[in-house]
Amino acid sequence: MNATTPGTSALGEFLSTRRAQLTPADLGLPDYGDQRRVPGLRREEVAQLAGVSAAYYTRLERGASRGASPQVLDALATALGLDEAERRHLHGLSGGGRRRGARRRPAEQVTAAMRQLMATFGEAPAILLGRRSDVLAWNRSGHALFAGHLDFDSPDQTVERPNTARLVFLDAHTRELYDADWPRKARDVVGKLRAAVGEDPDDPRLASLIGELTMGSAQFAALWAEHRVRAWDLAEYRMHHPLVGAMDVLQHSMPVPRAAGVRLVVVTAEPGSDSQAALRLLAHAAHTDTAETVTAPAVTPRI
């Protein structure tokens, strides 16, 4: 769902929301102790920091001015303290109007090359994700770690593939899997969906997914309204799997060559740690089809 308030645009919504999240002190500006009627920076302050006129910046927020130059966008990104992922998102939103009518992206398919790439990571949990966070494929360990309660073949159902965003917000098993780290995982998931909308604002399936999550989860709706953007890179989480217990893991996300928007996520743990032992135990269970008989030991063994 990429709805905007009347009189604004996706770019305007992003600018105004991020402006509201800052204070003069965040950017080294004096506030003189004045009482502000609304939270955050004033439009005039952002315009001053970016070196543009207040009138021009106001038109950008109201969606009345299109085609801001890359230099102006970079200046606005600096003024608002955006990170690299948010800066790319800002440029993407500004160019969204020019992309309308572009050729629709082809359906995502898992190729032999993708499966070969995933296989090179051995028993490490690995999953292939599409641009909407749909699960395109997973290995046995990845299935056991992220969604052992679903059928292993469920990614083959192209219309109703598992979707990691849907699992994080609407699936009780996944919420328990991330345990105390669920709020951070939830923010990361929403931020990546925000980035996806910036890259492909007219994708109807992406809009449908966001609408479903907004209606089904008040937490998603609140996070979506923050307009935060996250990059696909490296993330550390504490996961608590019902079979092998707690694990501190790294989730590595990397783009798949010649497959725009498709990413491979591989999970690792510190060598020699209890977390690595737990991942190996889970992989052993998954590859011997005895996961249902494995129980978490009182102390996770090193194997």
Q: CATH number of the domain at 88, please.
A: 1.10.260.40
At 6, the pLDDT band (50, 70, 90 cuts) reads very low
Decide which of 197 and 218 is more confident. Answer: 218
* 2 within some domain: no
pLDDT of residue 182: 96
C-alpha–C-alpha distance, residues 182 and 163, integer Å: 16
Residues 240 and 145 both lie in one domain: yes
What's the domain count of the chain? 2
Q: Is residue 238 located within the same domain as residue 118?
A: yes
State both tokens at 181.
């780290």
CATH number at residue 217: 3.30.450.180
What is the pLDDT at residue 95? 74
This prediction's pTM:
0.78
Looking at the fold, whether 161 and 247 belong to one and the same domain comes out as yes
The pLDDT score that the predictor gives to residue 167 is: 97
- Whole-number pLDDT of residue 84: 85
| The residue to which tokens 């499966």 are assigned | 115
- Read off the pLDDT of residues 229-273 as tens digits, 9 standing for 90 and up: 888 889 999 999 999 999 999 999 999 988 888 999 999 999 999
Within a domain: 78: yes
CA–CA distance, 277 with 78 (Å, rounded to integer): 44
State the residue range of the domain holding 52: 10-99
Task: Choose one of 99, 129, 156: the last residue of a domain.
Answer: 99
143 and 65 share one domain:
no
Per DSSP (E only), the strands in the chain are: 126-129, 135-138, 234-241, 245-255, 263-268
When pLDDT is cut at 50, 70 and 90, the band that residue 65 belongs to is: low
Judge if 124 and 210 occupy the same domain: yes
| Bigger pLDDT: 198 vs 146 | 146
155-159, 164-168, 182-186, 219-223 — which is least confidently predicted? 155-159
Structural domain contains residue 303 = no
The pLDDT tens digits of the residues spanning 73-102 come to: 888 888 888 888 888 888 888 874 444 444
Answer whether residue 134 is part of any domain: yes
Tally Cβ neighbours within 10 Å of residue 295.
8
pLDDT for residue 87 = 86
Does residue 241 lie within any of the structural domains? yes
* More confidently predicted of 38 and 62: 62
Could you tell me if 208 and 69 lie in one domain?
A: no
pLDDT of residue 298: 45
Inside any domain, residue 256: yes
**Cα four-point dihedral sign 49, 55, 58, 59:** negative
Does the pLDDT value for residue 36 go beyond 50? yes
- Residue 159 pLDDT more than 80? no
Alpha-carbon distance 152 to 242, whole Å?
Answer: 18
Based on the fold, state whether residues 49 and 198 are members of the same structural domain.
no
In contact, 61 and 12? CB cutoff 8 Å: yes
**Is 63 a residue whose pLDDT tops 60?**
yes
Chain centroid to CA 234: 12
What strands, in cross-sheet order, belong to the sheet with 135-138?
Answer: 135-138, 126-129, 263-268, 245-255, 234-241
Residues 154 and 42 in one domain: no
Say what the pLDDT of residue 38 is: 66
Q: Are residues 116 and 76 in the same domain?
A: no
User: Is 65 within the bounds of a domain?
Assistant: yes
Residue 106 inside a domain? The answer is no
Give 230's DSSP letter: -
